[in-house]
């Protein structure tokens, strides 16, 4: 049997590793557009961007032989023929018995794409040298990547303008109160916030905002989120709806699976989700590898993400929605902010500011959708 994985990022490589760990003895082919060995993306907006540490590779070069992997880097897949069971590359069709789609996501762009984006190692290596003391950066989009780049740039004494059409950073996901804390964090470090205003026009070095402000900058970073990389699957017959539509174990069609940022999985409750978190990509890879080998076991752990901004590690567990009720607490001897999210009085998620131990304490209560009062009692106990 041949398993073909398209996309040599986190989810793709971890699927290959999980298949071998589970004793898969067939042929494994991994096709990736980038020329680099699979690497870790989170450091690209943190240590690597600041120049503090080199890129982090997901597997040491010397360990690839153990995987018995036909790894073809610099290979872009342009189509899928479900009837033929092949994908299309410039070097010709590549056949599969089982296909795993792991092509991640692509940054949204401003009209004309005047600025830079940060998704790949090459993007990071292009941006990092521009972050020199005294330089001015205009970051469009106060999501996780925009906020992290703002923090990394401030660490390099770069002047930062952070622009978002929404009134608070991350407000769409984390709501008003946590959004305000994040805004305060950045303002306290000297970031110029331009919130509730869009970009009316942009060039490589100028942003004209819809409130009339004009910002002359040395570099523009477009950090307005991503769209799943499904262009190569158009017309293939797979269902695409902001991601490859899959069941609860990542199956999109007979012998076709999807993992990571590109995948939209059923949640078992009539809904679906697409997650753009490191831990979800890893968990989905393990789930799909097991399912390919006949063991269909949906992920039951709540989603986890983290974000490093200045000396704060933001950590979220569970599925927060901006219209959830939010109870802000201060926890531990250092009074660290922690937000409890709930619906109908039942705990849905938690977000902590450098309060990891408290966040993880609530895992079972989130899974059980326990009353918020139980969470408060546990945190105080
Ligand atoms: C700068 C940055 C910082 C992040 N920080 C955090 C963090 O702090 N915490 C957190 O939880 N998450 C973070 N994330 C998110 C996390 O890294 C992603 O969720 C994770 O990388 C998703 O893995 P993936 O394999 O699905 O996609 P990717 O890692 O994007 O891998 C997909 C691969 O597929 C390749 N590909 C795409 N199309 C094709 C094609 N047609 N043919 C062949 N190959 C193709 C791409 O080139 C890419 O190498 C961050 C992401 C970025 C970009």
Residue 127: CB atoms within 10 A of its CB come to 22
Cα of 277 vs centre of ligand 1, distance in Å, is 9
Using CA atoms, how far apart are residues 292 and 221, in angstroms rounded to an integer?
40
Query: Quick check: CB of 127 below 6 Å from ligand 1?
Result: no
pTM of the model: 0.97
**pLDDT averages per 10-residue partition of the chain, 381 residues:** 98 98 98 98 98 96 96 98 98 98 98 97 98 98 98 98 97 94 98 98 98 98 98 98 98 98 96 97 98 96 97 96 93 96 97 98 97 95 77
| Domain span(s) for CATH 3.50.50.60 in the chain | 2-106+226-292, 109-222
Query: Quick check: CB of 41 below 6 Å from ligand 1?
Result: yes
pLDDT score, position 322? 81
Mutation test residue for ligand 1: of 9, 58, 126, the one with most atoms within 8 Å of CB: 9
Q: 2-106+226-292: which CATH topology?
A: FAD/NAD(P)-binding domain (3.50.50)
Q: 311-380: which CATH topology?
A: Enolase-like; domain 1 (3.30.390)
Q: How far is CA 302 from CA 173, 276, 366, in A?
A: 16, 14, 7
Which residues have a Cβ under 8 Å from the Cβ of 258 and sit 6 or more positions away? 100, 101, 102, 243, 244, 246, 250, 252, 264, 288
pLDDT score, position 380? 87
pLDDT score, position 381? 77
Query: Quick check: CB of 283 below 6 Å from ligand 1?
Result: no
pLDDT score, position 214? 98
Query: Quick check: CB of 11 below 6 Å from ligand 1?
Result: yes
Q: Torsions phi, psi of 226, nearest 5?
A: -130, 165
Which CATH number among 3.50.50.60, 3.40.1710.10, 3.40.50.2300, 3.90.230.10 corresponds to the domain 109-222? 3.50.50.60
Using CA atoms, how far apart are residues 240 and 242, in angstroms rounded to an integer?
6
Query: Quick check: CB of 9 below 6 Å from ligand 1?
Result: yes
Which residues have a Cβ under 8 Å from the Cβ of 271 and sit 6 or more positions away? none
| Domain span(s) for CATH 3.30.390.30 in the chain | 311-380
pLDDT score, position 33? 98
């Amino acid at each position: 049997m041949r398993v073909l994985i398209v996309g040599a990022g986190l989810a793709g490589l971890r699927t290959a590793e999980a298949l071998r760990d589970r004793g898969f003895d067939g042929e494994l082919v991994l096709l990736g557009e980038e020329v680099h060995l699979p690497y870790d993306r989170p450091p690209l907006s943190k240590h690597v961007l600041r120049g503090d540490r080199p890129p982090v590779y997901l597997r040491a070069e010397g360990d690839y032989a153990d995987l018995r992997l036909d790894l073809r880097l610099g290979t872009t897949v342009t189509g899928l023929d479900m009837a033929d069971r092949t994908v299309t590359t410039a070097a010709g069709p590549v056949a599969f018995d089982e296909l795993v789609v792991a092509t991640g996501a692509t940054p949204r762009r401003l009209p004309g794409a005047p600025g830079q984006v940060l998704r790949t190692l090459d993007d990071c290596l292009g941006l990092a040298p521009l972050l020199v003391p005294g330089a001015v950066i205009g970051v469009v989009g106060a999501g996780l990547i925009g906020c992290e780049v703002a923090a990394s740039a401030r660490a390099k004494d770069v002047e930062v303008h952070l622009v978002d059409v929404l009134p608070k950073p991350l407000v769409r996901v984390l709501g008003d109160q946590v959004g305000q804390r994040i805004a305060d964090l950045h303002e306290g470090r000297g970031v110029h916030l331009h919130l509730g205003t869009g970009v009316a026009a942009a060039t490589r070095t100028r942003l004209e905002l819809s409130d009339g402000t004009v910002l002359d900058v040395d570099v523009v970073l477009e950090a307005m989120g991503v769209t799943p990389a499904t262009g190569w699957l158009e017309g293939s017959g797979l269902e695409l709806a902001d991601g490859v539509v899959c069941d609860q174990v990542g199956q999109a069609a007979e012998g076709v699976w999807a993992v990571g940022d590109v995948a939209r999985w059923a949640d078992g409750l009539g809904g679906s989700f697409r997650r753009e978190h490191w831990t979800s990509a890893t968990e989905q890879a393990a789930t799909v590898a097991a399912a390919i080998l006949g063991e269909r076991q949906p992920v039951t752990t709540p989603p986890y993400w983290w974000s490093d901004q200045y000396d704060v590690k933001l950590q979220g567990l569970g599925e927060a929605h901006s219209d959830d009720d939010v109870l802000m607490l201060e926890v531990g001897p250092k009074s660290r902010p922690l937000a409890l999210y709930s619906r109908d009085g039942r705990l849905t998620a938690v977000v902590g500011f450098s309060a990891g131990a408290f966040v993880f304490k609530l895992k079972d209560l989130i899974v059980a959708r326990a009353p918020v009062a139980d969470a408060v009692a546990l945190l105080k106990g």
